[in-house]
Each structure stands twice: as structure tokens, then as C-alpha cells.
Amino acid sequence: MGFLSNKVQRTEIKAGYHIYTYRALFAYSHHGIFVGGNKVVHFTHHPDTGNTSLDVTAETPTSCRTYPDCGFRQPKSGVFLSCLDCFLQTGDLYSFEYGVTPAVFLAKVRGGTCTTAISDGVDTVIHRAMRLLQNGFGKYDVFQNNCEDFALYCKTGLLIVDKVGCGRSGQAASVLGALVSSPLKLLIPSPAGIATVTAGMYCMSRYASDIGVRSDVVKVRVEDLAVKLRWMDDLKEDESFKSG
């Protein structure tokens, strides 16, 4: 695994890995949990899951000839089971790193490739992914609840309870960081590109929102998650859920 790239071969990934690929010419990454058997559980926007305002991340489940259960999801759920080929489409395969040191985290060029948070065990990770495949993961929102949050949750059980401002994932934080530190071109860094005077600020804002260092994260059992997500929908304006 390279220092600045987490690109891996298919033979290198194991069940329970958090994997991702880049879509739309590196404009954004799509994340999922590899559950073994050439299958990936991932969370994505779908027309009947609610939010249609950010169609850039819309997924079109393709008809898969290899696996009859590829593209499986529960009605109204944005959590899909796909084969690795359909998940990757034409993209490369990357492995998301857990438990990195803050120095490594800050050295990464892009947000959404690693975290200082520690992953739970393989069985726990897969249990969460399969449970959410059955129960759903709430509504898709690129800043509050996206494919990276889904994978982060499966790996760590951590959810951010604050509903304001920064999204909890690196990808959303990157978008925010890029906007805050001005040049929009940071969204799609060129190979030489990101070493600008704003890069430090960009990295710090990213670090500050890493799930591993935030103080407002809570560990939520997957069995309690459906209740939690319903709460968050119902009590958007109510601060009292923070203490619950």
C-alpha cells in the first residue's frame, strides 16, 4: 500500500474491508464494505429513498449477468448488495485505511481515504453491513449521510450526533474544506495541484472533522441504529437527542 495512494489489487482485499473507487473522473469516491464472496454492501442514492437534489452521486443499478442477487436491496432502502464488478464499474479499487496516525492522515492528498479511528473486528463489521442491508440506513445526503458514512459506521460503529455544519465523513469534509479554503479546483486536484498555500487549512479542517478525533461521535449498536435514524428524522430541531 503506497503512502499517498491506497490502490489495491482484488486479491489483496479481505472480507470486512472498507473499499472505495472513484467515479466521474475523480470528482467523488464511492465507498462500500467488502463482505467476501465477491460482494460489496454499499449505501447510495436511489430515487425512492428521498433526497434527489444531489444527482451527481446517483447510482443506476445495472443488470448483472454474473450474480442473480447483484443489486439486491430492500424496498425504499438505499443499501445495496452488489458484486465487486458492478461496484467498481470501470474504476480502480482502493482500500480505506483505519487507525492511521494524525501525521499520515494530514499527509494524505485527498480527504476520504483514511481515518484515525480504529476498525472493529471483521465479524462485527460484516454483521453491521448485513444488518443494514436488511434495515436500511436512512436517507442519502452527501453532507449528512453518505456512502462513506455508511462504510465508516460499519467499520467503527461511530455516528456523529451533531446535525449542523460539517458532514461526518472525509469526503463531505473535503468538499467543505475546499469551499472554505477557496479555490474550487481543490475538488478535483491535478497530480501536481494541491500544494497551495491553502492546503494546510484544508488539511486542518479535514482533521478536525475526522471521525477518529471528534468528540461528538457516539458508538451505536446496529440494532439501535434504525431507532436512532428515525429519531434524527423526527427530531431535527430538537437538541435533546444529543444526550440520548
Binding site for Zn ion (CB under 5 A): 64, 70, 83, 86
Q: Which residue is nearest to Zn ion (CB)?
A: 64
Identity of the residue, 61 or 189, whose beta carbon is nearer to Zn ion in the bound complex? 61
Q: Which residue of the set 42, 114, 166, 203 is catalytic?
A: 42
Q: Rounded to whole angstroms, how far apart are CA atoms 218 and 211?
A: 10
Identity of the residue, 70 or 125, whose beta carbon is nearer to Zn ion in the bound complex? 70
Identity of the residue, 20 or 105, whose beta carbon is nearer to Zn ion in the bound complex? 20
Q: Rounded to whole angstroms, how far apart are CA atoms 216 and 129?
A: 23
User: Minimum distance between the CB of residue 62 and Zn ion, rounded to whole angstroms?
Assistant: 7
Q: Rounded to whole angstroms, how far apart are CA atoms 156 and 151?
A: 9
User: Minimum distance between the CB of residue 113 and Zn ion, rounded to whole angstroms?
Assistant: 25
User: Minimum distance between the CB of residue 85 and Zn ion, rounded to whole angstroms?
Assistant: 5
User: Minimum distance between the CB of residue 95 and Zn ion, rounded to whole angstroms?
Assistant: 20
Q: Are 87 and 21 in contact (CB under 8 A)?
A: yes
Q: Rounded to whole angstroms, how far apart are CA atoms 85 and 89?
A: 6
Q: Are 34 and 45 in contact (CB under 8 A)?
A: no
Among this protein's residues, is 31 annotated catalytic?
Answer: no
Identity of the residue, 63 or 215, whose beta carbon is nearer to Zn ion in the bound complex? 63
Angle ∠(196,212,136) on CA atoms, nearest 5: 110
- Which residues on neighbouring strands pair with residue 22, listed in sequence order? 29
Q: Which residue of the set 86, 114, 147, 166 is catalytic?
A: 147
Kindly list the catalytic residues. 30, 42, 147
